[in-house]
Structure 1
Amino acid sequence: MSTLYTAQATATGGRDGHTSSDDGRLDMNLSVPAGMGGDDGPGTNPEQLFAAGYAACFQGALGVVARRQKIDLSDASTITARVGLHKTGLAFGLDVELEGHFPGLSPEAGLALMEAAHQVCPYSVATRGNVDVRLSAV
């Protein structure tokens, strides 16, 4: 396997700390949401970062799948990722909902594209078998 790209980020202070990438493009404070007992400060959190990354990656995978199937996806198509954090015994787990919006396509056609993208998206491949990922199209 040949690595195409490697991202690097460093975090300090855990969920109420700071994270930044080695190239300086990502540089942000982290805050614990009130729903987790935190102060709901102005920073982001790991679940938001994961949701943003998954949504962007999945949107890219959709583009690949649509091109392969000769389907013209509108620039207005969107993917919204919702990442839930839950307790499983002494550990914690994630669940994900990916919602697609495809102007000009039926929800059924959009969902079919999403199912194909789910087979090639690196985030989907990485989470398969250990994170519940639900797909929906509107």
Structure 2
Amino acid sequence: MSKIEKVLATGKTHTTAVTPSSVHSNVNLKLSAAGGRDISFDNIVAHPSAEQLFAGAWSSCYTLALTLAAAQNKVTLPADTSVDIEVDLGQTGDAYFLGARLIVNLPGLSQDAALTVAHAADQICPYSKAVRGNIDVAISVTTA
């Protein structure tokens, strides 16, 4: 697995806690261009980047995995649980790679409980399993 030397584009998502009744609800996407610029779409269909779509699908799946991991570990997730995922498309030499950062926000939990749930969710989530060993992934947990 190679590390990215030059980031070409980043897809970012922010996903809030998923409840079983909302698993099949609509998805609302707010898109931004490289460099953090918001995009205004007037009379055209929005086309998210592959990195944004991948981050969105992964964050939705991972957030549901957090719910399962919390239940398995007898931890009650805070109402304001959220996951931020950033997927980078980058280059090292002539080769292209993906990299990702998961920021798991579990305000009010102890750091130990939050880490346990976050890493258990990483073991449950099919997207996390699919990329494990294939791309560079960093997981950080905040409890504040």
- Give the structure 1 partner of residue 82 of structure 2: 78
- Give the structure 2 partner of residue 116 of structure 1: 120
Letter in 2 for 1:62: L
- Higher mean C-alpha displacement, 120-129 vs 68-77: 68-77
CA deviation after TM superposition for structure 1 residue 66, in Å: 0.7
- Name the % identity: 39
> Contact (CA 8 Å) 2:88, 2:100: kept in 1 or not?
yes
Q: Any residues of structure 2 matched to 1:100-115 within 5 Å, and which?
A: 100-115=104-119
Q: What 5-or-longer segments of structure 2 have no aligned partner?
A: 1-25, 42-46
Q: Which has the higher contact order (CA 8 A, sep 6+)?
A: 2
TM-score of the two chains, using structure 1 as the length reference: 0.67
Determine whether 1:66 maps to 2:75: no
Could you tell me which of 51, 54, 57 is aligned with 1:50? 54
Could you tell me which of 92, 97, 121 is aligned with 1:88? 92
Give the distance between the partners of 1:41 and 1:86, measured in 2 at CA: 25
Report which of the two structures shows the higher radius of gyration computed on alpha carbons. Answer: 1
TM-score of the two chains, using structure 2 as the length reference: 0.64
Matched residue of 1:57: which SS? helix
Q: Extract structure 1 runs of 4+ deviating beyond 3 A.
A: 40-43
How many residues of Structure 1 are paired with residues of Structure 2 in the alignment?
A: 107
Give the distance between the partners of 2:34 and 2:72, measured in 1 at CA: 43
Q: What 5-or-longer segments of structure 1 have no aligned partner?
A: 1-24
Cα-Cα RMSD: 2.5
